[in-house]
Structure 1
Amino acid sequence: MMKKTWAALLTAAMTAATLAGCANANSAGSAPATTAAAAETKAAGESKAADAGATTDWPKKAVTVTLPYSAGGDTDTYCRALFQAVGEKLGQNFVITNLTGGSGLVAAKDVMSKAPDGYNIFFTHTGAALVQEAMGTADFSYTDNFTNVCTVAEDATYTLVALSPNGSYKQYSRGWNNLEDMIADAKANPGVVRYSTVFGSTTQYVGNSLEKAAGIQFDNIDVGTAAGDRLAAFLGGQVDLIAVNYMNVEDYIEKGDVIALGVFSDKPMDGVDVKTLKEQGYDCKSTKKYEVKFPAGADQAIVDKLSAACKEVAESEEFKKTLATYHAAPLYRDAETTGKEDKAEVEELKAAMAQ
């Protein structure tokens, strides 16, 4: 598990230090008009950043960034990469705080209660947040009850995995070699196949979607919210199936201990030989988009300044390379686009759940 070990060491090192401080450049050979347009867009962005900087001296002290998941997972990894670079651009420390509980609700409400003075930031992803909003698990709106800043990345690697019948944990395997083996087993034994779910989150949504699409019924078991806890329960035989970001199980798949049954995405991951659920006849998908928010009522000049800094990072080659390590990609959306598209996605989720 060299990749996993390296990622853990990197996270530990970045956690130990106070973090200082969000798509891709045009390809070579672009037509002159395209190059000119790109330069004009870049200049406009730099002008906006300069204007924002001229109207506010924020940040004058360290900024707290709260995320709702444990250290070492996808949200934590992307958050730390983003705000280390943002802190370097803005000349202040951005201190990362992991506040778990309630599939993100504890952290969300904590940040909502803070003053909108620019010194408390909420970093989360749409996978759980918008599902909670659509299901009514959250008694607030992740758009209306926060001040959106921007979106910086997306991850469409949510993967359904099972234990290999030939791996190190074969004593807990149900003997499946592919998705159809699992579905056949689940149809023959309704309510027996144990699926790791976190109620009111992405895992519940994609699990329910697959149940409907395949005409099967799982035994849905909550073995913890954090990816690490769920993975430990899975490897320990407490559940038969788990859906997680690919980065969390890549080493186990490469070793042959875990089998990837399918990816909940519209398109396959680059460089990974795993079919999507859609390619296998089951239209089940979920893409996480990672967002930056302030408590409601934040000053627009501060929002603009942070958004401009995040945009610079999101469009940088360094950030792109970091995300590519985990098969994710930069995605910058400004505050208005983030809010508009999130609201539309909530309505889509409500319609899908009603079917």
Structure 2
Amino acid sequence: MTLRRTVLAAAVAAAALTTTFGIAHAADWPTRPVQVIVPAGAGGDTDFNARTMARFFEKVTGKPMVVTNVKGGSGTIGMSQVENATPDGNTLFFAHTGIVIVNEVSGMIDRKFDSKLDIACIPAVDKGMVLISGKKSGFKSVSQVLEKAKAAPNTVIYGTEMGGYSHLQGLIFQKKSGIQMKFVDVGSASDKITSLLGGRIDLASISYGPVQDYAKTGDMAMVAQYNDVANPLLGSIKTFKDQGMSLDMGKPYIIAFPKGTSPVIIKKMADVMQQITKDPAYAKALEDGFKQPVSFYHTKEANDVLNRVRTDFLQYKDLLQQKK
């Protein structure tokens, strides 16, 4: 055998060995703690869902998940960190469509959600999103908001995080209802709550969990829930559809790995998450924390859902970018 053939044969054997090792490694996943990058601060809805998942992941697999909060850049810093991580299954991204799709629509990033990430599944959908008013505004229904906004355009103040999911919710509400609101960048969910309580803004879109106590005390009113089919865990809060307008904007969360992660690992993660969603204790944790029903979409369904959401949201690209 010539030297060239010997070297070639050795290279082929090495490649085969590497492939075999990679498949074996993927089949054994997880073999060590898995880092979960959450592109948001502690205490919010994304962080809550990630930490709840992590707790039950360890219960199923015997391996812990380490949740790391990476704030900044409207979620783009955390997203880039995962995109550039080694695709070995030991780092994953837990975010929602506001990060992976709305950021593209708003111009914060210049790429489609799956260009540098492999989507494993949609582990949950936040169906607890509500349009909330501060006590000072006096708004308790959609009709009251429309009445004032039409009589005095740009006087109803909508607090948001410019370029984010709640910003898009406000823009779609405004467009569908034919009104003009004043958009004010106040920041994260906790900042919106502070601004509502202080009377600096009239409206905001937030997950129900962190504000449910304020609804009970009367410091805030729940104007509408962003579901065409009412989330029964939200009690008597009417949907937009109940009040004459279809506005269904539940917020899907996503689990994704760096591009190039083994399909075996991606499937295992989706299968583990599907198993978690069947645990009654998990369902109770979601209900107690954020009045969130259990939802789940496996890999193919998840990608289909995200592509549909992206197509819908791209209709508002110019509007979202002009309002930034």
What TM-score results when the alignment is normalised by the length of structure 2? Answer: 0.85
| Residue matched to 1:297 | 260
* Structure 2 residue matching 1:330: 3-state secondary structure: coil
| Residue matched to 1:4 | none
Name the CA distance, whole Å, in 2 between partners of 1:236 and 1:175: 14
**What is the identity, as a one-letter code, of the residue corresponding to 1:317?**
P
The answer to whether the aligner puts 1:265 opposite 2:227 as a matched pair is yes
Aligned equivalent of 1:239, options 192, 201, 204: 201
Per the TM alignment, residue 274 of structure 1 is displaced from its structure 2 partner at its CA by 1.1
Aligned identity (percent) is 28
Name the CA distance, whole Å, in 2 between partners of 1:138 and 1:187: 34
| Residue matched to 1:69 | 40
Aligned equivalent of 1:287, options 240, 250, 254: 250
Gaps of 5+ in 1: 1-51, 165-172
| C-alpha contact (below 8 Å) 1:143/1:343 kept by paired residues | no
Name the CA distance, whole Å, in 1 between partners of 2:130 and 2:152: 23
Name the CA distance, whole Å, in 2 between partners of 1:175 and 1:329: 30
Partner deviation per Cα, 1:273-303 (whole Å, 9 max, x = no partner): 1111122112222111121111111012222
The answer to whether the aligner puts 1:149 opposite 2:113 as a matched pair is no
Partner deviation per Cα, 1:188-231 (whole Å, 9 max, x = no partner): 2211221112222221111111111222111111111x211221
Name the CA distance, whole Å, in 1 between partners of 2:133 and 2:296: 34
**What is the identity, as a one-letter code, of the residue corresponding to 1:130?**
I
| C-alpha contact (below 8 Å) 1:134/1:347 kept by paired residues | no
| Residue matched to 1:334 | 298
Shifted more, 286-295 versus 99-108: the winner is: 99-108
Partner deviation per Cα, 1:219-257 (whole Å, 9 max, x = no partner): 111111x21122112212221111101112111001111
Per the TM alignment, residue 111 of structure 1 is displaced from its structure 2 partner at its CA by 1.1
* Structure 1 residue matching 2:30: 3-state secondary structure: coil
The answer to whether the aligner puts 1:105 opposite 2:76 as a matched pair is yes
Per the TM alignment, residue 54 of structure 1 is displaced from its structure 2 partner at its CA by 8.5
The 5 A counterparts of 1:193-208 are 193-208=156-171
* Structure 2 residue matching 1:332: 3-state secondary structure: coil
Aligned equivalent of 1:139, options 82, 107, 110: 110
Per the TM alignment, residue 127 of structure 1 is displaced from its structure 2 partner at its CA by 4.0
| C-alpha contact (below 8 Å) 2:157/2:181 kept by paired residues | yes
Per the TM alignment, residue 128 of structure 1 is displaced from its structure 2 partner at its CA by 4.3
| C-alpha contact (below 8 Å) 1:206/1:285 kept by paired residues | no
Per the TM alignment, residue 354 of structure 1 is displaced from its structure 2 partner at its CA by 7.0
Shifted more, 229-238 versus 308-317: the winner is: 229-238
Q: How has the CA–CA distance of structure 1 residues 297 and 55 changed in structure 2, closer, same or farther, with 3 Å as cutoff?
A: closer
The answer to whether the aligner puts 1:276 opposite 2:239 as a matched pair is yes
Coordinate RMSD, CA, aligned: 2.0
| Residue matched to 2:144 | 181
Aligned equivalent of 2:89, options 118, 128, 133: 118
Name the CA distance, whole Å, in 1 between partners of 2:25 and 2:74: 39
| C-alpha contact (below 8 Å) 1:128/1:200 kept by paired residues | no
Q: How has the CA–CA distance of structure 1 residues 128 and 216 changed in structure 2, closer, same or farther, with 3 Å as cutoff?
A: farther
Name the CA distance, whole Å, in 1 between partners of 2:295 and 2:127: 12
| Residue matched to 2:286 | 323
Per the TM alignment, residue 353 of structure 1 is displaced from its structure 2 partner at its CA by 5.6
Shifted more, 173-182 versus 141-150: the winner is: 173-182
**What is the identity, as a one-letter code, of the residue corresponding to 1:69?**
A
The answer to whether the aligner puts 1:190 opposite 2:161 as a matched pair is no
Gaps of 5+ in 2: 1-22, 320-324
Name the CA distance, whole Å, in 1 between partners of 2:295 and 2:138: 39
Name the CA distance, whole Å, in 2 between partners of 1:177 and 1:146: 41
**What is the identity, as a one-letter code, of the residue corresponding to 1:344?**
R
Per the TM alignment, residue 55 of structure 1 is displaced from its structure 2 partner at its CA by 5.4
Length, aligned pairs only:
295
Q: How has the CA–CA distance of structure 1 residues 128 and 112 changed in structure 2, closer, same or farther, with 3 Å as cutoff?
A: closer
| Residue matched to 1:3 | none
Shifted more, 242-251 versus 279-288: the winner is: 279-288
Per the TM alignment, residue 308 of structure 1 is displaced from its structure 2 partner at its CA by 1.7
| Residue matched to 2:15 | none
Name the CA distance, whole Å, in 2 between partners of 1:55 and 1:189: 60
